[in-house]
Structure 1
């Protein structure tokens, strides 16, 4: 195991300089406060943020030595959802507080057999894909939202 060389105590939604390294993380793995992570170079860093934070694709962790490590959304198992009336389908997904990546002709959600069955019953086409996941953030600028206590 490689020794920890640096600690990241700050996060920014964008790069300020050139990236020194990269972390490729799934959506669930991008929600953290304190954890040892391995960069693409093999270097391990200790992420030690003051509060649990949602790291966004394209964001950066700032290391104690000033270097910046870029955050990338890693490919993961998802459901691609399409339908003639995609707006109605998006409403049903949102009504269940399911994280959703909204695109012009499709929606991407995490694999969930209950939501999949519901979507098929209301006329959506659903297929499994393996792609990076960048769902919409919270409407009130809080990133991820859970429940109604915004």
Structure 2
């Protein structure tokens, strides 16, 4: 089976099929337009998205009256950074930017993928954080750069 488009998302779908298979994916796999995956029931699926769209947790890859195949994003190992001042936010944002680490924001929290050096830096700077497993809404995108 080749999937060329996402047909919906479980968060907004009006009805669900009685039989649901899941494709468990790491968050960094969500950005790949072409890939081969296997459902939790052992069915191999090729994904070749026509649109330049990232996959998301709950995306429905296939659905008929009886069956549904849904993307399930695995939890990432994260550092959830909770600066208590604008100074702390600026300090850690600058440090992470120098390391070219992608970050996401949810409310008052900054999320980065776990890195022991970042954890050490947070301790040194006295910036509150937690290490936790959590699903992220979108993939962490590594952005290339040059010093031209």
TM range (shorter): 0.5 to 0.7
Report the TM-score when normalising by structure 2: 0.65
Instruction: Number of aligned residue pairs: give it.
Output: 136
Encode CA deviations 1:87-109: one digit per residue, 9 max, x unaligned: 952881785562314145x3322
Cα distance, 1:114 vs. partner? 5.0
Cα distance, 1:146 vs. partner? 4.0
Unaligned 5+ segments in structure 1 are 1-5, 138-143
Cα distance, 1:36 vs. partner? 1.3
**Higher share in strand:** 1
Cα distance, 1:66 vs. partner? 9.7
Structure number with higher relative contact order (C-alpha < 8 Å, ≥ 6 residues apart)? 2
Query: Is residue 2:133 matched to residue 1:130?
Result: yes
Higher Rg = 2
Q: Which residue of 2 aligns with 1:35?
A: 35
- RMSD, matched Cα: 3.7
Tell me the SS of whatever aligns to 1:78. strand
Q: Which residue of 2 aligns with 1:140?
A: none
Q: How far apart, in 1, do the equivalents of 2:21 and 2:138 lie?
A: 24
Report the TM-score when normalising by structure 1: 0.64
- Residue pair 1:59, 1:70 contacting (<8 A) in 2 also: yes
Q: How far apart, in 2, do the equivalents of 1:100 and 1:146 lie?
A: 13
Q: Which residue of 2 aligns with 1:56?
A: 56
Cα distance, 1:55 vs. partner? 0.8
Q: How far apart, in 2, do the equivalents of 1:110 and 1:37 lie?
A: 23
Cα distance, 1:61 vs. partner? 1.5
